[in-house]
A and B are shown apart, each in its own frame.
Chain A
Amino acid sequence: MIVAKQKPIDEIIEGVKNADKILIAGCNECVTVCESGGKKEVAVLASALRMYFMNHGKEVKIDEITLERQCDHEYLEELRKVIDQYDIVLSLACGVGVQFLAEKYMRTPVLPGVDTCFMGVTEQRGVWTERCQGCGQCILARTGGICPVSRCAKRLFNGPCGGSTRGKCEIDKDLDCAWQLIINRLKELGRMEDYELLIPIKDWSKERAGGPRKIVREDVQ
């Protein structure tokens, strides 16, 4: 999932303080799972903003909605009939949702209510860690299912480097060395001969280095 964290309330207030009618739009997907932009967080933010404005003697209409997704046209269409009623939409979706919403409704400012961080997993409640950088050329089959692009600080393809000590990375003693994890997993799989194979130079043009990416599949259109 895409992992995001809530923006500080002060920053949100700064963005919406001049508005009279605000719609807070949550998303039922990733940001709900990572507890930053789902229905619950929408309700909490709406309540906090209502109190803030009330306390400052300003009457502001604050409505709440949580869409199934903000990264699909069909769900964003739900806002078509109501969006013109608002001065600002505060979207608690990831950056993808905020942008798609903004693209679709040109006349209403859309502000982000969360900071989108990475694609990751829920290790335990309240702890999320990165697993994928969407590099466009997956090599997990060769690395025992552990990604050196997202989990190695240097994104090394033939590691580990000299900074690996007792299975930890030199940048943070609590961070596992991805290449140590890869070696451990290859050992478990009985595939240590794969470790000896050099991974060829990656085509980074398939990552962000090649500019914004696009996938077109005519077979499903």
Chain B
Amino acid sequence: MRLQYPSGIRIICLPCTGKVDLIHLLRSFEKGADGVYVVGCMEGSCQFTTGNLRARKRVEQARTILEAIGVGGDRVQMFNLAASEAPRFVEIAEEMTRKILALGPNPIKKARKKMVA
């Protein structure tokens, strides 16, 4: 299909979204990511039964913590789609990019720059 999606997105491949841990999500923000989204298989079709359901819970945990510390819980989100849904993948990438652009840069990144300067 060779569909184009926003170039600001860096893809990290995992064997299953069940591999995503809370610390992975938090460290991404600590290192300066403006937003993180996890794209798992459709609910009910996980090869490992509950990997994508677990990932959703981790995303929710990250959201709560990010909200509490002032980074913003909306910067992290979970999506589900099937491997054959390339157009939907692009839609999600664009949706997330729009959302993060509206939220602005990760405040941690700005604060770190200010501290260094």
A interface vs B, CB < 8 Å? 8-10, 13, 40, 43-44, 47-52, 54-57, 59
Contact = CB atoms under 8 A, between A and B. Distances in A.
Contacts of B30: 47, 50-51
A52 B26 contact: no
A59 B66 CA distance: 19
A40 B26 CA distance: 12
A49 B30 CA distance: 10
The dominant DSSP class at the A interface is helix
- By size class, the interface of chain B is 10 to 19
Given A47-B30, A48-B65, A50-B30, A55 B71 contact: yes
B23 interface: yes
Contacts of A47: 23, 26-27, 30
B48 to A, nearest CB: 15
Interface of B: 21-23, 26-27, 29-30, 65-66, 68-71, 107-108, 111-112, 114-115
B22 A51 contact: no
18 contacts: A9-B68, A9-B69, A40-B21, A40-B22, A43-B23, A44-B26, A44-B65, A50-B30, A51-B30, A51-B66, A51-B69, A52-B69, A54-B108, A55-B69, A55-B70, A56-B70, A57-B114, A59-B115
